[in-house]
């Protein structure tokens, strides 16, 4: 019955994820890390596509979490576990949970099938083209060898940079976040008093 | 035969999978051991070539497998200890002192109907228990059980622990949403709110400890606390420990903060619609979580696998090779002499007892003594045996504390719960951080 559908879907997904890895490990002669990177990248692309194409908004949110987790895995493979842990802690543990929270409090299962965000296809297309152009420009304009060197900075070096060289921007950002929190609380409270 | 087939017919799909998988896995393990034993050399060479991958696979398997006896033991402890505290008898039917009751619980859960509500989202409904269970198993990876006995030593171990523990919230939200039941949804939302709130004092409470230790690797943190028990961080961070313990109680959904599924008040919160093995996974994850948070408390504040005081070298490290021919003689004679010597008191004092019974009794006693001596020998000569024993002993003290709290304390209200986290625990954690930082500035580490 339903179980076969899910088994088939799982097999298909495993095929999509593992085929590039097998190609990398076999004919292309890459290492285990390369294969892991390819699997994670494929997972990220598949789940990213799922986020923008699926109809059920909760499933979209969960696919987004998978996407973030795959990105954290890529950070780990690239040799900076600190960034990976921060990615999981902030993006999965806080932001995605907040998004899911908001959806669950506001949406219901019988939501209109034509969801709000799908009515703005025109502006979204323009935005997508602009972003694609910008990404292409950045990718072609970056010296990737240097970046790979910079990625492998350890936690202590990162801390030294953050708290010695860039301490003023860091503090300003934290004050900005505090202001946002206080503003949010103020707005929420004022509405309650008015009613 | 009919009994067997009827029992088989009663099993649900996951039950059938598990009951076929367990013998298969056992057979595979035995076959693997035999192959390694017979072929020897080439296999070991091949294994050492892929050492890291192999170590990871073995560690992952062990971590998955040890959750089962751990959960069974803690479930039994909870039933029996709470029964004693309530002046009841508790489980006493299956096995000696009812010890096998939690195994029966496991079988029962496999045989129950695995029900999916109509109009529920079956995919998310099925994946939610997996996410909850997976997040608690993943945190086991960084726990140091003994010197050299850990799955993986990250230099960001503690951060990893918090990150993986936070994933459980996603599972609870998934369960609440996909059940297609308003009460499940509300239960899921309130458990998510509780866990997100308590994550903040939890993370802040160890910040002071990290300032003192200067590392986030759990292994290194434990190694820092070696020597006398005064080196344990609980004596330098008493407030930090208190906040950590309270926050961790809320994270593991234990009384007095078990509002996520307050059994006597709101049915079962997010798990209302779950049954069978899918509910079993939530149940399992809760008890594995109790073990994990107790173990983490011990590792961070109570010295982990370190003994409370350095043992004077009572290690009369036996070197059996130096005995020479006496070793062979000893192996031949000692069991005989030991059996006879131990049966002598029965022979002499109990005239009603036939001689063969006395000798059998002496043999049993001799075996007990040998096992005890072997244990002492292992304790003295292997670091990790002593470490594991100390670690488990301390951990189960905290597991007992959690059970004790469940038997003793009443449940708090949801507004009291949230108010306590934001108005008391968080300021206290910040105060702890400031005082620790100031002390480090004045005194040094």
ipTM (interface pTM): 0.79
Give the model confidence (pLDDT) of A11-41 as tens digits: 888 888 888 888 877 777 777 778 888 889 9
Question: According to the model, what pLDDT value does residue A34 have?
Answer: 81
Residues pairing with B146 in the sheet:
B149
Strands (E), B108-238: none
Give the model confidence (pLDDT) of B39-66 as tens digits: 766 767 776 777 777 777 888 888 888 8
Per-residue pLDDT for B319 more than 50? Answer: yes
Band of pLDDT at residue B315, cut at 50, 70 and 90: very low
Q: Determine the average pLDDT of the residues in B368-381.
A: 75
As to burial, measured by CB atoms within 10 angstroms (0-12 exposed, 13-18 middle, 19+ buried), residue B122 is middle
Band of pLDDT at residue B304, cut at 50, 70 and 90: confident
> Which among A58, A81, A101 has CB closest to B189?
A101
Q: Determine the average pLDDT of the residues in B160-176.
A: 88
A59, B124 Cβ separation under 8 angstroms: yes
Q: How far is B400 from chain A (nearest CA, A)?
A: 30
Estimate the crossing angle of helix B51-85 against helix B101-111, to 10 degrees: 110
Among chain A residues, the shortest Cα distance to B127 is held by A62
Q: Determine the average pLDDT of the residues in B251-255.
A: 83
Q: How far does Cα A15 stand from its chain's mean position?
A: 23
Q: How far is B321 from chain A (nearest CA, A)?
A: 45
SS3 for B146?
Answer: strand
A173 or A161: whose pLDDT is higher?
A173
Question: According to the model, what pLDDT value does residue B243 have?
Answer: 94
Give the C-alpha separation, A99 to B196, whole Å.
13
Bond before A130 cis per omega within 30 degrees: no
A74, A45 Cβ separation under 8 angstroms: no
Per-residue pLDDT for A55 more than 90? Answer: no
Give the model confidence (pLDDT) of B10-24 as tens digits: 777 777 777 788 888
Per-residue pLDDT for B427 more than 90? Answer: yes
CA atoms within 13 A on the CB side of B303: 20
Q: How far is B174 from chain A (nearest CA, A)?
A: 8
Q: Determine the average pLDDT of the residues in B108-132.
A: 84
Topology of domain A1-111, per CATH?
Answer: 1.20.120
B112, B187 Cβ separation under 8 angstroms: no
**What is the overall mean pLDDT for chain B?**
83
DSSP type of residue A95: I
B290, B398 Cβ separation under 8 angstroms: no
Give the C-alpha separation, B252 to B242, whole Å.
15
Per-residue pLDDT for A190 more than 80? Answer: no
Band of pLDDT at residue A142, cut at 50, 70 and 90: confident
Band of pLDDT at residue B411, cut at 50, 70 and 90: confident
As to burial, measured by CB atoms within 10 angstroms (0-12 exposed, 13-18 middle, 19+ buried), residue B277 is buried
Among chain B residues, the shortest Cα distance to A57 is held by B177
Cβ pair A85:B163 closer than 8 A: yes
B157, B163 Cβ separation under 8 angstroms: no
Which chain A positions have a beta carbon within 8 Å of B132's beta carbon?
none
Band of pLDDT at residue A193, cut at 50, 70 and 90: low
Among chain B residues, the shortest Cα distance to A32 is held by B53
A185 or B348: whose pLDDT is higher?
A185
Cβ pair A88:B163 closer than 8 A: yes
Per-residue pLDDT for B151 more than 60? Answer: yes
Give the C-alpha separation, B277 to B230, whole Å.
45
**What is the overall mean pLDDT for chain A?**
81
Cβ pair A85:B180 closer than 8 A: no
Per-residue pLDDT for A91 more than 60? Answer: yes
Question: According to the model, what pLDDT value does residue B312 have?
Answer: 56
Longest dimension (CA), chain B: 78
As to burial, measured by CB atoms within 10 angstroms (0-12 exposed, 13-18 middle, 19+ buried), residue B15 is buried
Q: Determine the average pLDDT of the residues in B148-164.
A: 83
Which chain B positions have a beta carbon within 8 Å of A56's beta carbon?
121
Q: Determine the average pLDDT of the residues in B237-254.
A: 90
Convert A21-45 to b/e letters by CB count within 10 Å (16 or more is b): beebbeeeebeeeebbbbbbbbbbe
| Of A157-161, B12-16, B203-207, minimum mean pLDDT range | B12-16
Give the C-alpha separation, B237 to B205, whole Å.
9
Give the C-alpha separation, B168 to B132, whole Å.
5
Q: Determine the average pLDDT of the residues in B374-392.
A: 77
Cβ pair A3:B176 closer than 8 A: no
Question: According to the model, what pLDDT value does residue B90 have?
Answer: 84
Per-residue pLDDT for B401 more than 90? Answer: yes
Per-residue pLDDT for B396 more than 90? Answer: yes
* Highest mean pLDDT: which range of A81-85, B33-37, B91-95, B128-132: B128-132
Indicate left, alpha or beta for B393 from its phi (over 0: left) and psi (-120 to 50: alpha). Answer: alpha
Q: How far is A88 from chain B (nearest CA, A)?
A: 6
Cβ contacts from A onto B, under 8 A = 73
Among chain B residues, the shortest Cα distance to A107 is held by B177
Question: According to the model, what pLDDT value does residue B428 have?
Answer: 94
B161 touches chain A (CB under 8 A): no
Q: Determine the average pLDDT of the residues in B87-99.
A: 84
CA distances from B281 to B71, B237, B249, B255, B392 (A): 11, 35, 20, 20, 24
CA distances from B107 to A89, A186, B69, B70, B72 (A): 36, 54, 14, 16, 12
Give the C-alpha separation, B183 to B186, whole Å.
5
B122, B278 Cβ separation under 8 angstroms: no
Band of pLDDT at residue B380, cut at 50, 70 and 90: low
> Which among A59, A81, A93 has CB closest to B156?
A81
Among chain B residues, the shortest Cα distance to A72 is held by B163
Question: According to the model, what pLDDT value does residue B247 have?
Answer: 92
Among chain A residues, the shortest Cα distance to B14 is held by A3
Band of pLDDT at residue B177, cut at 50, 70 and 90: confident
Give the C-alpha separation, B201 to B244, whole Å.
7
Cβ pair A65:B53 closer than 8 A: no
Give the C-alpha separation, B280 to B289, whole Å.
14
Which chain B positions have a beta carbon within 8 Å of A101's beta carbon?
173, 189, 192-193
Question: According to the model, what pLDDT value does residue B265 have?
Answer: 66
**Beta-carbon contacts of residue A84 (< 8 Å; ≥ 6 apart):** A72, A73, A75, A76
Per-residue pLDDT for A109 more than 90? Answer: no
Give the C-alpha separation, B292 to B399, whole Å.
9
Q: How far does Cα B380 stand from its chain's mean position?
A: 24
Give the C-alpha separation, B328 to B325, whole Å.
5
Give the C-alpha separation, A160 to B408, whole Å.
48
pLDDT-above-90 percentage for chain B? 15
Which chain B positions have a beta carbon within 8 Å of A25's beta carbon?
none
CA distances from B376 to A96, A137, B338, B369 (A): 51, 69, 18, 11
Q: What is the DSSP string of A164-188?
A: IISHHHHHHHHHHHHHHHHHHHHHH
> Which among A65, A94, A155 has CB closest to B155?
A155
Estimate the crossing angle of helix B122-139 against helix A2-25, to 10 degrees: 50
Question: According to the model, what pLDDT value does residue A65 have?
Answer: 92
Which chain A positions have a beta carbon within 8 Å of B154's beta carbon?
81
Which chain B positions have a beta carbon within 8 Å of A3's beta carbon?
13
**Beta-carbon contacts of residue B69 (< 8 Å; ≥ 6 apart):** none
Per-residue pLDDT for B107 more than 90? Answer: no
Give the model confidence (pLDDT) of B364-373 as tens digits: 888 888 888 7
């Amino acid at each position: 019955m339903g179980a076969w559908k899910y088994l088939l879907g799982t097999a298909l997904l495993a095929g999509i994820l593992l085929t590039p890895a097998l190609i990398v490990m076999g004919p292309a002669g890459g290492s285990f890390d390369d294969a892991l990177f390819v699997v994670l990248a494929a997972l990220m692309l598949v789940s990213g596509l799922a986020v923008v194409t699926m109809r059920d908004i909760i499933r979209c949110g969960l696919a987004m979490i998978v996407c973030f987790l795959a990105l954290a895995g890529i950070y780990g493979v690239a040799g900076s576990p600190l960034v990976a842990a921060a990615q999981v802690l902030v993006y999965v543990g806080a932001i995605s949970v907040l998004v899911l929270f908001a959806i669950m409090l506001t949406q219901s299962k019988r939501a209109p099938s034509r969801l709000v965000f799908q009515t703005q296809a025109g502006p979204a297309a323009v935005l997508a083209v602009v972003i694609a152009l910008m990404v292409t420009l950045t990718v072609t304009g970056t010296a990737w060898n240097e970046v790979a060197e910079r990625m492998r900075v350890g936690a202590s070096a990162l801390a030294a940079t953050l708290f010695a060289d860039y301490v003023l921007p860091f503090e300003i950002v934290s004050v900005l976040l505090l202001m946002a929190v206080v503003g949010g609380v103020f707005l929420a409270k004022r509405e309650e008093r008015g009613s | 035969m009919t009994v067997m087939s009827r029992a088989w017919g009663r099993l649900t799909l996951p039950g059938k999978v598990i009951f076929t998988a367990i013998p298969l896995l056992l057979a595979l393990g035995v076959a693997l051991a035999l192959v390694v034993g017979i072929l020897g050399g080439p296999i070991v060479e091949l294994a050492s070539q892929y050492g890291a991958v192999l170590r990871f696979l073995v560690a992952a398997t062990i971590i998955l497998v040890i959750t089962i006896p751990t959960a069974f033991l803690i479930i039994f402890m909870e039933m029996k200890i709470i029964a004693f505290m309530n002046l009841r008898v508790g489980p006493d039917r299956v096995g000696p002192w009812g010890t096998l009751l939690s195994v029966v619980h496991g079988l029962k859960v496999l045989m129950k109907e695995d029900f999916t509500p109509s109009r529920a989202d079956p995919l998310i409904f099925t994946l939610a228990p997996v996410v909850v269970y997976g997040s608690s198993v993943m945190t086991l990876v960084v726990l140091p059980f003994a010197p050299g006995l850990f799955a993986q030593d990250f230099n960001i171990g503690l951060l990893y622990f918090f990150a993986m523990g936070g994933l459980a919230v996603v599972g609870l939200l998934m369960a609440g949403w996909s059940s297609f039941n308003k009460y499940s949804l509300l239960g899921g939302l309130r458990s998510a709110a509780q866990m997100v709130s308590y994550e903040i004092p939890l993370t802040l409470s160890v910040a002071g400890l990290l300032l003192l230790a200067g590392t986030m690797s759990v292994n290194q943190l434990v190694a820092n606390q070696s020597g006398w028990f005064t080196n344990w961080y609980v004596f330098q961070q008493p407030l930090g420990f208190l906040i950590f313990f309270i926050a961790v109680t809320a994270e593991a959904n234990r009384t007095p903060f078990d509002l996520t599924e307050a059994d006597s008040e709101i049915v079962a919160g997010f798990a209302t619609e779950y049954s069978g093995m899918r509910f079993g996974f939530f149940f399992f994850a809760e008890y594995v979580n109790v073990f994990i948070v107790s173990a983490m408390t011990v590792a961070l504040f109570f010295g982990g696998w370190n003994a409370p005081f350095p043992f004077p070298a009572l290690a009369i490290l036996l070197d059996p090779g130096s005995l020479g021919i006496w070793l062979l003689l000893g192996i031949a004679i000692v069991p005989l002499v030991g059996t006879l010597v131990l049966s002598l008191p029965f022979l002499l004092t109990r005239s009603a007892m036939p001689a063969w019974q006395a000798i059998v009794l002496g043999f049993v006693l001799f075996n007990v003594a040998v096992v005890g001596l072997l244990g002492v020998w292992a304790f003295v000569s292997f670091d990790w045996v002593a470490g594991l024993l100390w670690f488990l002993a301390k951990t189960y003290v905290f597991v007992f504390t959690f059970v004790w709290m469940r038997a003793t304390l009443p449940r708090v209200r949801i507004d009291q719960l949230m108010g306590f986290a934001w108005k008391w625990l968080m300021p206290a954690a910040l105060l702890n951080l400031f005082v620790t930082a100031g002390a480090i500035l004045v005194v040094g580490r």
